[in-house]
Each structure stands twice: as structure tokens, then as C-alpha cells.
Structure 1
């Protein structure tokens, strides 16, 4: 069964100051999204990789590697959910089957590895629903009391709580139906749309290295991690 990667890359990254969206910031010699795409291209189980960008995005083609399995779709919307929805429709228009698997991954999670992608596929390819990479919540969870100064008002139990990551893997038609039925403003990830249909996605153990670049410190951490991996690969060659 074909497996497609869909990478929404139409956001502006407003929480990360700079002269360009975070997916086009450079780390370890390439744009953030280029590292992300390379991990999926290096995973032999993935048949196609589609990056969904905003209409008229002139940066994408210059930032991404040329590859026969890579496509750019100028189908981005105002929200992540809209971008993914329009990307799924684009895939169908390009000949993807409604029953194909789709891996949706954040462009800004540039430290994802082919091994992690392959692990999710292996865990979910025979699952009736699909699933996502995630991590059990490791830290104490505080509830904020709003005011002029943020204060901790309560400590919440963390048992059974997981931090959702990506990729998130679902059948194309199921995910598209879930997103079309939901209010895009209420959907923070694909799994939340699937859950609203009464389905329960599988939780597959992820990695702390698969973080999303959101703040300036994240860029420095990604730079160090990607540079270390590259140095290790050169030493092993």
C-alpha cells in the first residue's frame, strides 16, 4: 500500500523572531524544512513526499533538494488544518488512492530521523485506525492563574498524559473526512480530528530529539544535534 508524506509548510512562525518563516531559517547548512524533507526521502518506505506551501511561496523551490519523489503543492491555507485538508485533496487529484496511508509531519520538526519514521510505519501499517509518535509527559504539569504575573494555581496529575509529536499516520480518506467535519480553529493536530470521529489513534513512542522549532533556543539545539549527526556520519564513512 503506498505511503505518502505530507509536510504542511505554509505557516509564518510568529513566535520565532526573524526575517523569514521558521521553516526557511538555516540550521546546519540548510533550511529547516530541507532537513525535514531529507529524513523522509531517506526512508525507503515513503513513496512520495509533498510539501504544502502558501500560494506564491517563492522560497520553497530554492530551499528544497531536487528529487524525483519530492513535490511542492501551493495549496496552503490560513490554518494548519486547512493546509493539510487542501494538501490531501491535492494528493487525490495527483492520483493517490483514498485508502493510501498519509504521514503528516511538521515542517519545523527537522530532527526527525528515518528510523523514527520507519518505526511509526511498522507500528501502524496494520492498525485499523493509525497513530502518531508521542512521549509520556515527563514533567510536573502546572495550571496557570492568569493575572499581571503568571502564577501556578494547581498541580495537575500527569498519569496517562502524552505529548503529541509528528508524523501522524492515517488513511487518506479517513483523515480528510475527519478534517472536513471539524472546525479548523479547534484542530491542533490530525489526531485530534480523528478522535472527534470517535476513533482512538495508536500512541507510538517517540523521542525527545523530535522537537518542534518554536523559540530561538530551539534553533540552537537543532543546529547542535544536526551538526553532531553529520559529524558522526562522516566518521563512520
Structure 2
């Protein structure tokens, strides 16, 4: 795979309400560095990207203070209300730079623990695939289906064998991802990741097993856990 056909999108327009912090979660710090800086540097330094687009919230005033704002590989654009809106905005901002068949990797801003070996395996596995795919981890816990109510009763134990946790990066062809996101958003479908948009379009992505410690910082307890994981690399 050549440098000219691999692009990175890291949507960073969210406000991370579940963190209950004074700033969006991507601007919280681990060992004095913004999570967003850690994430971008880890991914960009693990593969040869032609460039990177970071969609930002219109009210974002933290970005100019980041290490990443000085990285010539990174461009920014305005993001949207939801993740899918931001990713589509980034794809449109890359129009004229990315070719229709170029690969686009979309990675969560608050997933700083992605491992370089996982990224390489994703790229190598999908390099000749017609659709693309995503890093994912098989579900390890016993799963219970709950009934209604605040303290629900168990309705059944769910077979976990075919179930995987979707991780990022997720990797698809530029034109296919644009078309899938546009179609899904126009239909008002719930798009929680790029894979779900591709699935709605009728093309089934490939699951590429990744490390389960590629966690997403979502609640306050995740911050210390991410710091511990990064200290072990």
C-alpha cells in the first residue's frame, strides 16, 4: 500500500457529556498530554498516511493549543452534530485530494490506546478487500438480556459466541463510504459507526481482531485505565 492512497479521519467535534468535565474528553490530559494529541500521534506514526482530517466543533478553542495543530500532515474542518455528520464533513473536505478508491481510516479521538500492530494488521488484511472492515474484539463477558424497569430481571442469557465489540479504526474506500453515509443520513437511520452505514448500504464489512485494551475514554474511570494501558506499551 502506498502513501498516496491512505487517509485518516479523527472526528473530534463531540463534547463528551458523560465525562462531566470542563472540556470535551479529547482535551483531557494523560501524563500532561491531550488525549487527542496522543491518539493522533500514535496512529499517524504507525502507518504512511497521505494526510489526516480532524473535524472540530465550531466552539472549539482548545485545538490551537495542541501539539497536533502544528503537524503539517493534519487539516481541520467544521464537524457536525453527530459523529456521522462529522465524518461526512471530513470526507467532503477531502474531495479533490482523496481518490474514489483511496482507503479512509476513521478512528475515535478518545481511543488513544490503539496498538500499531493492530493498525498494520487491519491495513494488510483489507488492502485487497472489495468492501473494507474494522478492528473488533470478541465479547468475553457473559451477556444478559434485561427486562424493563430500573432494576430489571434477567430475561435470558445471550449466546456471546457470534458477538464482537466494534473498535476503531474502521477502514473503507473513499467513494463507498461517502455514498453509504449520505444514503443512511438521508434515510434517518441510526449511524453509530462507519460500519453500520456500510451495512445499511448492503455491503458487509470484515471483522479484524484487535486488542481488547483499545478502549474508548467515555466515563471518568476510563481516564486512569487508559493511562495505565499506555504506560505498559
**TM-score, length-scaled by structure 2:** 0.92
1:145 and 1:118 mapped to 2: Cα distance?
41
Aligned mate of 1:6, from 4, 9, 12 = 9
1:9 and 1:167 mapped to 2: Cα distance?
14
Q: CA RMSD in A?
A: 1.5
1:56 and 1:97 mapped to 2: Cα distance?
31
CA-to-aligned-CA distance 1:158-216 (integer Å, 9 cap, x gap): 12111110000000110010000013650011001101111111110111111111111
User: How many Å apart are 1:115 and its aligned residue?
Assistant: 2.3
1:79 and 1:90 mapped to 2: Cα distance?
17
1:118 and 1:29 mapped to 2: Cα distance?
28
Unaligned runs of 5+ in 1: 230-237
Aligned mate of 1:170, from 152, 169, 172 = 172
Q: Does 1:42 find its partner at 2:45? A: yes
1:27 corresponds to which residue?
A: 30
CA-to-aligned-CA distance 1:83-117 (integer Å, 9 cap, x gap): 11111000115x22122100001001111122221
> What SS does structure 2 have at the residue aligned with 1:106?
coil
Tell me the matched-pair count: 227
User: How many Å apart are 1:228 and its aligned residue?
Assistant: 3.3
User: How many Å apart are 1:56 and its aligned residue?
Assistant: 4.0
> What SS does structure 2 have at the residue aligned with 1:212?
coil
Q: Is the 8 A contact 1:10 1:83 kept in 2?
A: yes
Aligned mate of 1:221, from 204, 208, 225 = 225
1:148 corresponds to which residue?
A: 150
Deviates more, 1:120-129 or 1:60-69: 60-69
1:43 and 1:228 mapped to 2: Cα distance?
17
**TM-score, length-scaled by structure 1:** 0.91
